[in-house]
A = this chain, B = another copy of it.
């Protein structure tokens, strides 16, 4: 399994999803498309589609949940960039949504994308209740992680608390990976055990991703060698979680392994 055919499915489904939001008013819809269709690595939707094939199902079955998780991810980026939040003016080499379209339109575009994510996830071919529960839990969780991180900034200093960092890593980063993997498995008809295995994979992938970020940035709670040890352990745990799955897990395993080889 290579990523590229699935990437085309992701892009096509995202374009189709955005069209469901209509054309009016023009500035709002343009801002929504600018945010979602303007590139990105599409890691979360690719994980969602790969989870479907990992349980022995068809990637196609997971295309709407895959679009949903990427749309949700992009709404979080729009709101994160706002002046009242991180006050970022550039993302992916372009002006951020608020910088380009104004703050009010950026707030509203993020809001509309979150509802659209919910809307398109409901188009999954089966297990819609559980898929929406996973998406909703991740949507609440990612905000709780952001707010916890914000409370650090508000305190004026990074609090040296493993519990605090662990909460942020699990929620701000891992929750969306967990939802992506869980929804993909559910949409393809995976068993409870298979869904749990993929959730375990995705939690550890998310943690490894975050430890690697700390290592590359040279910050984080732990000393560099401890950060690397934790990244390695989480990567190993992610890969081990894949073993009981009946389908092709090549992409998911390679994704976890490539994380450890990142240079930036």
A interface with B by C-beta (< 8 Å): 20-22, 24-25, 27-28, 75-76, 79, 82, 84-85, 102-105, 107-108, 110-112, 114-116, 118-123, 128-129, 132-133, 135-140, 143-144, 146-148, 150-151, 167
Q: CA of A107 to CA of B85 in the docked complex: distance in angstroms?
A: 9
Partner of A119, one of B76, B136, B148: B136
B115 adjacent to A136 (CB under 8 Å): yes
B104 adjacent to A84 (CB under 8 Å): yes
B85 adjacent to A114 (CB under 8 Å): no
Partner of A25, one of B107, B135, B139, B148: B148
Partner of A116, one of B20, B115, B140, B167: B140
B143 adjacent to A28 (CB under 8 Å): yes
Extra pairs beyond A21-B140, A119-B133, A122-B133 (11, CB < 8 Å): A25-B151, A84-B103, A110-B111, A112-B140, A114-B114, A115-B136, A115-B138, A115-B140, A122-B132, A128-B128, A128-B129
Q: CA of A27 to CA of B132 in the docked complex: distance in angstroms?
A: 26
Q: CA of A102 to CA of B81 in the docked complex: distance in angstroms?
A: 16
A107 adjacent to B79 (CB under 8 Å): yes
Q: A115-B143, A118-B118, A144-B28 are in contact. Are A107 and B84 (CB under 8 A)?
A: yes
A128 to chain B, nearest CB (A): 5
B139 adjacent to A118 (CB under 8 Å): yes
